[in-house]
Structure 1
Amino acid sequence: MQVNSEPTTQQDSTEELSPESPERKDEHGGRTPARPAVVRQLTAGDAEKAAALRKMKVVALCLLIAMAVVFVVAFALQKQYPWLEYVRAAAEGGMVGALADWFAVTALFRYPMGLKIPHTAIIPRRKDQIGASLGEFVETNFLSEQVVQDKLASINISGKVGSWLSGPGGAERVAKEGAAVIRGTFKVLNDDDVQAVIEGMVRRHLLAPPWGPPVGRMAERIFADGHHHKLVDLLVDRAADWMAANHQTVSRLVTERSPQWVPSFVDGLVGDKVYIELLKFTRAVQDDQQHQVRLSIDKYLTDLAQDLQHDPAMIARAEGIKAQVLGDPEVRELASRTWATIKGALLTAVDDPDSELTVKFKAAVRDFGTRLVTDEELAGKVNAWIGDAAGYLVRTYRSDIAGVITDTVARWDAEETSQKIELQVGKDLQFIRINGTVVGSLAGLAIFTVAHLTFG
């Protein structure tokens, strides 16, 4: 494996693609389309792993060379020194073990010595199948609905979240992030589009339905319960007060409307008489809850409520009043003012950490966090909701999630994939070569010893 052993300060690995990589032959000798050559810049961690891998390769190779030297020396001198036969057998077994394990380790990542021996270069050749198997393994064993729900139930998410929300800084962090979300949302939203939505809602829910019947039903309930009597009392009281305070005004009005031939003293007497009668009348209406005027008002209002519900002419008049009050310009202005008010109020509130909205929001967050910690029933419901939601996501999207592994591995270059995997596990695999050398030596020595004692 060829890797860049010099560490870099780059934190994330990058890939530089060369547009001039040559065509390659596949394992059957056919031409495959040229793929961009990948030059990996190793991170500091990868460079450290590459250095450790090279070191272990050197150790394993040195051990093989040492066995070869011992074998040559022992083989040359074994006739002169018979005990060297045991050393030769041990060295011979060590070389066989070292070579066999070198072949096994190398066959995982590439063709040994470039020879396309069957069942070698397993990772480059079967990269896609390995990715698919890994994705299937993760989907089957890790993305199980029951596994996810059991794990979530064991960590008590509601309790941890509640402790954080009720603790110092939790509510402030939520309020801060919420304010950022609101500000970002207002920046993204187009004012004209929002106003158009509000205008559409006003037209659909406020202007499109006829006003007469619902207003009539509401008025009927109000009049039946007598809630309008306080308004009538207010009007009668104001009329009586005005009458008591405007004697001269009533007298002047009578004088102005009397014939010119009537003497002035007569106008004064008539004006006083009219004022007195009007004052008596208003006081009588004020004092008598069953006065004919009050009863007439009640009957008029009751009839009006019925007409608003059932009389087509009255319903049409109500619609005409609605059209006059809320025409197109008025609706647009209403939508514009509504959005401007909501937007301004929210932006002002979220920008001020001491605003009433922010303070109440933080208090609500802390209270909710405290309840999550102390209220076992609420905590259980929240944990159940989280578990159900996670179960639904896993049940619905488990194949898509596992597909990320399969698709990612499929996009990797075969040689690049082999290098990545060898970089992660190659150091440990080199111990197989070392162990093979040691075990081969012991096995060779044991076999030769048994054979020599048995047949020698």
Structure 2
Amino acid sequence: MGVFTAADEERQRGVRRMKTIATGALALMATVFVLAKWAQSAGAGSWTGYVAAAAEAGMVGALADWFAVTALFRHPMGLPIPHTAIIPTKKDQLGRSLGDFVGENFLSGEVVRSRLSAVGIGSRLGAWLAEPDHAERVTAELATALRGALAVLRDSDVQAVVGEAITRRADAQEIAPGLGTMLEKVVADGGHRRIVDLVCVRAAEWLEVHSDSVMDAVTGGAPGWTPRFVDRKVGERVYRELLRFVTEMRDMPDHPARGAVDRFLSDFAHDLQTGQETRERVERLKREVLGRGEVQDLIASAWNAVRTMIVAAAEDERSELRVRARAALLSLGARMAADGRLQGKVDGWVEGAAVYVVTTYRDEITSLITETVAGWDAEHTSKKIEAHIGRDLQFIRINGTVVGSLAGLAIYTVARFFGV
């Protein structure tokens, strides 16, 4: 047990005061007994016998209770009398008994389930959550816990876990068939045509602006023995044909090239689903992409962005996250307060969880009590316990003195009545 606190010192002073009073009562009985016997020997009258009997019995009661109270904490008068100093010498046994008592009477499944069933947690929790102030309080506590959890987590650890999870999930599942199915549906719905339109428009605009680049590319690849003007003519012809082809493809929805693109994408979608070679190439490409540092950096940046967004939303009382959480709690509270079936489910969940905990970890909980008591210093434990309950125990001594004297007086009176 820990060192004496200021409260313990105050309790100890109270114990000493009560000890003084109890000892004073014993001294008073002894004084009265001596005076009564002196008066009796002096022929003061029959009343002295009554007083002496009461005082004598009061002393006996006081001494007996002093012995009993003292024997709890130490050997009376320092004598190693058997079955004394009970708390210091039986501390470990008391700890085991206390642990067994708690386990049998407080940590049994029947007791826990009966108590929780009587409480009605579902209805009480529902009524409590249905109050806006309470829902706001829970939302604030959840936001604080969320911020704390995100602050404790190390970015490198989270990034490693997320990256590893994504990589493992991607490795475990072949993506080519899924891509093929998606591409097949996109082509069937004509969703790719906007992309083709955009490519054609951008290609036509680029050719109109960069005609010199096209002709330079053509002339640059021509043989060195052809005349320059011939190369120039060929470049111009190639440029015009390219521009015409792209323009027609842009302006004609039924252009043959568009149909060729449709057939190519359809065939590619089919190969992704059934072509073994195509599927193996996609898998190799997938592994190469996932293994690149840029992808891992993307995962890291995504986690940082998500964390920043969540923290900001948790801190802002008007954020959509907290508004929705508050509304969800209020709605849940209202349902729990009014829906008996939901209350029964909540009660069942709580009771089941509590019973599981106490039945599974009962030995660990009781061993905690036993080991804690066993680790206490015997003398210090005795003083600590005495400081807490010693004042009440001193009342036992006082009561023993009073009751003993009354009992002695009654016995003496009865004996005198019958002439004993």
Q: Shorter chain as normaliser: what TM range?
A: 0.7 to 0.9
Matched, 1:142 2:111: no
Matched, 1:382 2:362: no
**Paired position in structure 1 for 2:21:** 59
Given the alignment, which residue of 123, 126, 139 partners 1:162? Answer: 126
**How far apart are residue 103 of structure 1 and its match?**
1.3
Q: Distance in 1 between matches of 2:338 and 2:196?
A: 56
Q: Distance in 2 between matches of 1:103 and 1:373?
A: 58
Q: Distance in 1 between matches of 2:31 and 2:406?
A: 17
**Paired position in structure 2 for 1:23:** none
Q: Distance in 2 between matches of 1:279 and 1:114?
A: 117
Q: Distance in 2 between matches of 1:354 and 1:281?
A: 49
**How far apart are residue 142 of structure 1 and its match?**
0.9
**Paired position in structure 1 for 2:326:** 362
Given the alignment, which residue of 235, 256, 271 partners 1:307? Answer: 271
**Paired position in structure 2 for 1:43:** 6
Q: Deviations over 1:375-411 (max 9, x none)?
A: 2222221121111111100011112112222222212
Aligned positions, number: 393
Q: Distance in 2 between matches of 1:124 and 1:343?
A: 56
Residues 220 and 126 (structure 1), Cα distance of their counterparts in 2 relative to 1, 3 Å cut: same
Q: Distance in 1 between matches of 2:176 and 2:195?
A: 26
**How far apart are residue 238 of structure 1 and its match?**
9.5
SS at match of 1:340: helix
**Paired position in structure 2 for 1:88:** 52
Given the alignment, which residue of 111, 115, 119 partners 2:83? Answer: 119
SS at match of 1:119: coil
Residues 293 and 426 (structure 1), Cα distance of their counterparts in 2 relative to 1, 3 Å cut: same
Give 1:250-329 correspondences, 5 Å limit: 285=254, 300-319=264-283, 321-322=285-286, 328-329=292-293
Residues 222 and 279 (structure 1), Cα distance of their counterparts in 2 relative to 1, 3 Å cut: closer
Amino acid at match of 2:384: K
Please, which moves more after superposition, 323-332 or 124-133?
323-332
**Paired position in structure 1 for 2:337:** 373
Q: Distance in 2 between matches of 1:120 and 1:364?
A: 62
Residues 97 and 233 (structure 1), Cα distance of their counterparts in 2 relative to 1, 3 Å cut: closer
Taking structure 2 as the reference length, the TM-score comes to 0.79
Higher relative contact order (CA 8 A, sep 6+): 2
Q: Deviations over 1:217-269 (max 9, x none)?
A: 4444555xx32x354488579979x99xx9xxxxxx9xxxxxx99xxxxxxxx
**How far apart are residue 203 of structure 1 and its match?**
2.3
**Paired position in structure 2 for 1:35:** none
Residues 108 and 302 (structure 1), Cα distance of their counterparts in 2 relative to 1, 3 Å cut: same
Taking structure 1 as the reference length, the TM-score comes to 0.73
Residues 85 and 318 (structure 1), Cα distance of their counterparts in 2 relative to 1, 3 Å cut: closer
Q: Distance in 2 between matches of 1:231 and 1:372?
A: 50
Residues 132 and 330 of structure 2 are in contact (CA less than 8 Å); yes or no, is this contact kept in structure 1? no
Matched, 1:106 2:70: yes
Matched, 1:395 2:364: no
**How far apart are residue 70 of structure 1 and its match?**
1.8
Unaligned regions of 5+ residues in structure 1, if any?
1-12, 16-39, 247-252, 254-259, 262-270, 287-291
**Paired position in structure 1 for 2:141:** 177
Residues 107 and 358 of structure 2 are in contact (CA less than 8 Å); yes or no, is this contact kept in structure 1? yes
Amino acid at match of 1:386: V
Unaligned regions of 5+ residues in structure 2, if any?
208-213, 215-228, 231-239
Residues 179 and 351 of structure 1 are in contact (CA less than 8 Å); yes or no, is this contact kept in structure 2? yes
Residues 126 and 333 of structure 2 are in contact (CA less than 8 Å); yes or no, is this contact kept in structure 1? yes
Residues 374 and 429 (structure 1), Cα distance of their counterparts in 2 relative to 1, 3 Å cut: same
**Paired position in structure 1 for 2:406:** 442
SS at match of 2:361: helix
**Paired position in structure 2 for 1:8:** none
**Paired position in structure 1 for 2:97:** 133
Give 1:229-240 correspondences, 5 Å limit: 229-232=190-193, 235=196
Q: Distance in 2 between matches of 1:74 and 1:281?
A: 132
**Paired position in structure 2 for 1:69:** 31
Matched, 1:348 2:312: yes
**How far apart are residue 86 of structure 1 and its match?**
2.4
Q: Distance in 2 between matches of 1:281 and 1:431?
A: 106
Please, which moves more after superposition, 199-208 or 71-80?
199-208
Residues 112 and 220 (structure 1), Cα distance of their counterparts in 2 relative to 1, 3 Å cut: same
Q: Deviations over 1:149-182 (max 9, x none)?
A: 2222222223333333332332332333333333
**How far apart are residue 53 of structure 1 and its match?**
2.4
Give 1:3-14 correspondences, 5 Å limit: none
**How far apart are residue 320 of structure 1 and its match?**
5.5
Aligned CA RMSD, in angstroms, stands at: 3.9
Residues 197 and 250 of structure 2 are in contact (CA less than 8 Å); yes or no, is this contact kept in structure 1? no
**How far apart are residue 297 of structure 1 and its match?**
6.2
SS at match of 1:161: helix
SS at match of 2:354: helix
Q: Distance in 1 between matches of 2:257 and 2:44?
A: 143
Amino acid at match of 1:421: I
Residues 121 and 216 (structure 1), Cα distance of their counterparts in 2 relative to 1, 3 Å cut: same
Q: Distance in 2 between matches of 1:169 and 1:233?
A: 52
**Paired position in structure 1 for 2:40:** 78
Residues 454 and 303 (structure 1), Cα distance of their counterparts in 2 relative to 1, 3 Å cut: same
**How far apart are residue 113 of structure 1 and its match?**
1.0
SS at match of 1:285: coil
Percent identity of equivalent pairs: 45
Residues 73 and 88 of structure 2 are in contact (CA less than 8 Å); yes or no, is this contact kept in structure 1? yes
Amino acid at match of 2:385: I
Residues 249 and 258 of structure 2 are in contact (CA less than 8 Å); yes or no, is this contact kept in structure 1? no
Q: Distance in 2 between matches of 1:280 and 1:197?
A: 48
Amino acid at match of 1:304: F
Larger helix share, 1 or 2: 2
